[in-house]
Structure 1
Amino acid sequence: MSKYLLIMRGTDETNAAMMADIDEMMATTRQFIEDMMKAEVLIAAEGLDDPGQGVVVDFSGEAPLVTDGPYGETRELFGGYFMLDVATKQEAVEWAKRVPAVRGSKIEVRRVAEADEVPPGSESNGQI
């Protein structure tokens, strides 16, 4: 089994569309979460706060620069995630295709690296 993140990516437009019928979206999302729990694949699921409430720590210069969010030129923002424990990437993709999302949204599927995947000879010796 491997862990995968299903990262919800949206825009101002998709976020507004989702908020237009938030009660239906929340009911559909609760059912999706129940389905994942019944299948015993869900590890965690969280939504993120409004990007305007966040900050960005930018390491482009000599010292880290902290600025208010969102992320400047970025057109897509992370809105939340589901973490699954599934057998294959394809299984994670199949769950991602079922995520309740509005037209124009995207779900990024990323495998979570295991501690033993740290390159040999690194100072961490397998500890992340």
Structure 2
Amino acid sequence: MRFMVITKATPESEAGVLPATEDIGTMGAFIEELVDAGVLLAAEGLHSSAEGARIYFDGENKTVVDGPFTETKELIGGFWLVEMKSLEECVEWFKRCPIQRPGDGGPANLEIRRVLEAADFGDSFTAEQQEAVAERRARAAGNG
């Protein structure tokens, strides 16, 4: 099973405050453990919402709103994509995550969500559609 582990943005990350060298090293060691265990598929941090945009859909109308966005508790600061045997295994791994909130030293919030797989869609996801998805993934992997 694949899981996305989402880090929440903080007022500091939204202000563009980057982690200190020692925090980068500590997080790097944790990420190295995930790599060595063969469970890490991707891990990335995100720029602040000031450099982003949202697109709102209302029927045929599309409204684009440039960042920044004020409600940081709803913003994503980064993510890991991992493959684990279960949600419980993923939780155990990420309870060890060394991430800290800049400034106050308290732990950052993480959200863990399972990634949908073909089997989750049942009969509504045809063999042809599954083949097309597999082909797109292979092409996308070649783009990286």
TM-score, normalising length: structure 2: 0.73
Q: 1:76 deviation in Å?
A: 3.4
Q: 1:80 deviation in Å?
A: 0.7
Task: Report the equivalent of 1:80.
Answer: 78
Q: Does the aligned pair in 1 maintain the 2:9–2:77 contact within 8 Å? A: yes
Task: Report the equivalent of 1:113.
Answer: 116
What CA deviation, in whole Å up to 9, does each residue of 1:42-61 have, x standing for no partner?
Answer: 11111111211000001246
CA distance in 2: counterparts of 1:42 and 1:8, whole angstroms: 15
Task: Report the equivalent of 1:101.
Answer: 99
Q: Between Structure 1 and Structure 2, which shows a larger proportion of strand residues? A: 1
Superposed CA RMSD in Å reads 2.6
Total equivalences in the alignment: 125
Residue 59 of structure 1 aligns to a residue whose secondary structure is strand
> Percentage identity across aligned positions?
35
Q: Between Structure 1 and Structure 2, which shows a larger proportion of helix residues? A: 2
Q: Which consecutive residues of structure 2, in runs of 5 or more, have no partner in the other structure?
A: 101-105, 134-144
> Are residue 3 (structure 1) and residue 5 (structure 2) matched?
no
CA distance in 2: counterparts of 1:78 and 1:41, whole angstroms: 22
Q: Does the aligned pair in 2 maintain the 1:8–1:106 contact within 8 Å? A: yes
Q: Which consecutive residues of structure 1, in runs of 5 or more, have no partner in the other structure?
A: none
Q: Which moved more, 1:81-90 or 1:71-80?
A: 71-80
Q: Which moved more, 1:31-40 or 1:69-78?
A: 69-78
CA distance in 1: counterparts of 2:128 and 2:55, whole angstroms: 28
CA distance in 1: counterparts of 2:9 and 2:124, whole angstroms: 39
What are the within-5 Å matches in structure 2 for residues 1-128 of structure 1? 2-13=1-12, 15=13, 19=17, 22-60=20-58, 62-73=60-71, 75-102=73-100, 103-121=106-124, 126-127=129-130
The 3 A distance-change label for structure 1 pair 66 and 47 is same
